[in-house]
Amino acid sequence: MYTITIESSFRAGHQLTYAGGKKEDLHQHDWQLKVAAQIEELDENGLAIDFIYLKAKTDEIAAMFDNTQLEELDCFEGINATAENIAKYIYDQLEPQMPTKAMLDSVDIMEAPGCRAKYNK
């Protein structure tokens, strides 16, 4: 099994709402993404998955978050824009765009140094 990983980033704010309705202060992060994909066999060019393709698809999704307050986006209506929920959303958007025979392994997101969430199926 071969695994490739690309990285992307975006800057966005969020303001989590806790049980009981208390909100944390609105704050920004420079979110860092790592997306890993797997494939069993290399193609005729010796490639697992084209880095450029996977990076472009990831960047398209990340661009919708850039310079926003995440809770204002439709995809987070009714849920907190936590690192966990962001990772799952990105995974769910990328998975159907994977090339034939390739599998999306995981989406890992870091909101601050040492604070990461990872989603995979």
Smallest CA-to-CA distance from 32 within 16, 4, 54, 11 is with 11
List, in order of start, the domains of the chain with CATH numbers. 2-119 (3.30.479.10)
CB 116 within 8 A of CB 82: no
Percentage of the chain modeled with pLDDT above 90: 87
Residues 6+ positions from 27 with CB-CB distance below 8 Å? 13, 14, 15
**What is the pLDDT at residue 98?**
94
120 Cβ contact list (under 8 Å, min separation 6): 91, 104, 105, 106, 107
Question: Averaging pLDDT over each range in 13-17, 23-27, 88-92, which range is the top one?
Answer: 88-92
- Inform me whether the pLDDT recorded for 21 exceeds 90: no
> What pLDDT score does 64 carry?
96
CB atoms under 10 Å from CB of 109, counted, come to 29
Nearest alpha carbon to residue 110 among 80, 77, 83, 73: 83
pLDDT band at residue 35 under the 50/70/90 scheme: very high
Mean pLDDT of 102-121: 96
Question: What does the pLDDT read at residue 61?
Answer: 97
Query: Which pLDDT band holds residue 41 (cuts at 50, 70, 90)?
Result: very high
Output the pLDDT for position 40: 94
